[in-house]
Amino acid sequence: MAQILAPSTQWQMKVPKSSTFGSPIATKMWSSLFLKQNMHGTTKSTGKFRVLALQSDNITVNRVEQLLNMDVSPCTDKIIAEYIWIGGSGIDMRSKSRTIAKQVEHPSELPKWNYDGSSTGQAPGDDSEVILYPQAIFKDPFRGGNNILVICDAYTPAGEPIPTNKRHKAAEIFSNKKVVDEVPWFGIEQEYTLLQQNVKWPLGWPVGGYPGPQGPYYCGAGADKSFGRDISDAHYKACLYAGINISGTNGEVMPGQWEYQVGPSVGIEAGDHIWCSRYILERITEQAGVVLSLDPKPIEGDWNGAGCHTNYSTKSMREEGGFEVIKKAILNLSLRHKEHISAYGEGNERRLTGKHETASIDTFSWGVANRGCSIRVGRDTEKNGKGYLEDRRPASNMDPYVVTGLLAETTILYEPTLEAEALSAQKIALKV
């Protein structure tokens, strides 16, 4: 991951009242896309939005484009809020739009809403109403203007969090005074794979075939090495526009695979920013006609999987003598290895094999500058005696609320017995 410095001073749970937003995502960016697919119709582009015409009537196309790009702010104070939530699989994202009477500064100013949970696998048909609670606001890079994206979590009408609402427990952990005092920072490396739409095979790969072996693709440039750069760059700019604390991006080891980093973020903000960044990526790949995959091992064989490495530190880790605190945290993590693995993403056993820069899923390990370990500590952290650790176990489809909450819980709140600590320290050769 790109070097972690310090969290942004901008708290993205609200939108400043004085914000004046620029133009939404321009579709000039799609003009150089590698997609040469046969479509039932022709594609027309303007400087802003790309529209698929189902007929050859240019006048109709232009009118639709004009409406899509229309700035309504001179005519009304009303804005459009896109309410976003996590669906029944725990990884799919859903959203719907509503009109808000005026610009808002904080999610508490937004009304709660509801949806049909029986259509998302989150409620029975005879009691299907699920309530959305607005939790975080971001600027909308698709509609522009004062319009917003709203990250929500979901509750029953009685006010109980539904089973797929992992934010609720994470918020409780991050509101604990011990955790608040430690000011936990997270830097999350989200890897993903782009797939061709009709065949579900990685972008840039011959259909049913394979490219050359891994080696030239990581951070590579060139038409035979980099597949999907326009999508990565569009996503980068859209996240910056939205107010997401995105800190970098790069091509990954497997061709057609990319990574972006979000953070450092404090506490619950880390999960909000990752989920919103995933939603934006879904929308961009939708426009580009490409399928987004968060499968941790999309292609079997001698190909890297996709992870979501999570860099983590507390105030005590960042201060003098912090390396001893880091080692104590590693000890705690070793004692709860199974609990973490069970919550770190579906299909992770196909990725954590001990090969392709991973540790074995069955064995906890740690090391300095070792990407084949469960927990990696950087050379600078060892040299300076303070810094952060990297948990390399989370899969690309992990829930960031679960992972960040578990890391804080295990390293700050969890208190193992002295006997368990001694046995574990001996097992993993860790002197604390």
What is the DSSP code string of 241-277? HHT--EEEEEE-SSTTEEEEEEEEEETTHHHHHHHHH
Q: Please give the chain's pLDDT, 432 residues, in tens.
A: 444 445 544 444 455 444 444 456 644 444 444 443 434 444 443 335 455 545 556 777 788 888 888 889 899 999 999 999 999 999 999 999 999 999 999 999 999 999 999 999 999 999 999 999 999 999 999 999 999 999 999 999 999 999 999 999 999 999 999 999 999 999 999 999 999 999 999 999 999 899 999 999 999 999 999 999 999 999 999 999 999 999 999 999 999 999 999 999 999 999 999 999 999 999 999 999 999 999 999 999 999 999 999 999 999 999 999 999 999 999 999 999 999 999 999 999 999 999 999 999 999 999 999 999 999 999 999 999 999 999 999 999 999 999 999 999 999 999 988 777 777 777 777 765
* pLDDT at site 414: 95
Q: What share of the chain is helix, strand, coil (3-state, %, to 5)?
A: 30, 25, 45
* pLDDT at site 312: 98
- Residues 431 and 260: their CA atoms lie apart, in Å, by 34
- Residues 286 and 274: their CA atoms lie apart, in Å, by 18
Q: In CATH, which of 1.20.1090.10, 3.90.580.10, 3.30.590.10, 3.90.950.10 is domain 175-428?
A: 3.30.590.10
* pLDDT at site 33: 46
| The pair of three-digit structure tokens given for residue 29, joined into one six-digit string | 């960016």
Helix (H, G, I), strand (E, B) or coil at 222: coil
Q: Where are the domains of the chain?
A: 72-163, 175-428
* pLDDT at site 56: 55
| Residue 230 near residue 31 (C-beta atoms within 8 A) | no
| Residue 202 near residue 253 (C-beta atoms within 8 A) | no
* pLDDT at site 330: 96
Residue 361's nearest CA partner among 422, 302, 412, 297 is 297
Residue 296's nearest CA partner among 376, 361, 366, 351 is 351
Find out if CATH 1.10.357.10 is the number for domain 72-163.
no
- The amino acid at residue 420 is A
Our measurement of the distance from residue 432's CA atom to the centroid of its chain's CA atoms, rounded to an integer in Å, reads 34
Q: Is 408 exposed, middle or buried (0-12, 13-18, 19+ CB in 10 A)?
A: buried
* pLDDT at site 50: 53
* pLDDT at site 411: 98
| Residue 266 near residue 184 (C-beta atoms within 8 A) | yes
